[in-house]
């Protein structure tokens, strides 16, 4: 397996399998437009095996606050999970944005995505306080529109 920067040419292969990678059978492709592969490849990464993507992380540095970076999307092929690929991609992303002056990384997920919540807390992300709860998890209600609650995470990466 080889890890490298994402390129626009990775988009068709990843978008073709993206929905199948989600256990909830949710339509995820609308959340990952080609523009992320075109404009943020310096801070986005792909793990490939045999010429095919088996994991990826799409992230960028905030233009509003260059001390912050944001992970927009990450995915791992179901047959390649529990091999450390996601953890490795996050480490690579954090190193890349730290070298560019970032002090923290942010991301969000759906309160229904229990696996994502557990994974991100395991790798050192903190859940930000919200205005309500989904079970015992703080959420920001209507964050992405009516009924679209989100769990917000932050991780300090400053040296």
**Domain edges within the chain:** 1-102, 108-159
The pLDDT score that the predictor gives to residue 50 is: 93
How deeply is 156 buried, as exposed, middle or buried, from its count of CB atoms within 10 A (0-12, 13-18, 19+)?
Answer: exposed
**Hey, how many other C-beta atoms are within 10 angstroms of the C-beta on 13?**
15
Q: Running DSSP on this structure, what letter comes out for residue 63?
A: S
The pLDDT score that the predictor gives to residue 21 is: 87
Could you read off the pLDDT of 50-72 as tens digits, one per residue? Answer: 999 999 999 999 999 999 999 99
Contact criterion met (CB below 8 Å) for 19 and 30: no
The pLDDT score that the predictor gives to residue 25 is: 65
CA pseudo-torsion sign 104, 105, 111, 114: negative
Residues 6+ apart with CB under 8 A from 53: 10, 13, 14, 17, 46, 47, 77
CATH superfamily of 1-102: Gcn5-related N-acetyltransferase (GNAT) (3.40.630.30)
- Answer yes or no: is pLDDT of 127 > 70: yes
Could you read off the pLDDT of 84-102 as tens digits, one per residue? Answer: 999 999 999 999 999 999 9
Could you read off the pLDDT of 2-55 as tens digits, one per residue? Answer: 999 999 999 999 999 998 887 666 788 888 999 999 999 999 999 999 999 999
């Amino acid at each position: 397996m080889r890890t490298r920067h994402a390129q626009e040419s990775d988009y068709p292969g990843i978008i073709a399998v993206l929905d199948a990678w989600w256990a909830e059978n949710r339509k995820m492709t609308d959340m990952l437009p080609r523009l992320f592969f075109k404009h943020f490849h310096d801070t986005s990464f792909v793990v490939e095996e045999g010429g095919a993507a088996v994991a990826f992380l799409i992230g960028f540095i905030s233009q509003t606050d260059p001390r912050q970076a944001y992970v927009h999307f990450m995915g791992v092929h179901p047959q390649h999970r529990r091999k450390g690929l996601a953890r490795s991609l996050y480490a690579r992303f954090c190193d890349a944005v730290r070298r560019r002056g970032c002090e923290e990384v942010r991301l969000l997920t759906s309160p229904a995505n229990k696996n994502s919540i557990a994974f991100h807390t395991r790798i050192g992300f903190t859940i930000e306080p919200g205005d309500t709860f989904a079970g015992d998890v703080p959420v920001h209600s209507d964050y992405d529109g009516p009924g679209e609650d989100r769990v917000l995470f932050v991780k300090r990466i400053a040296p």
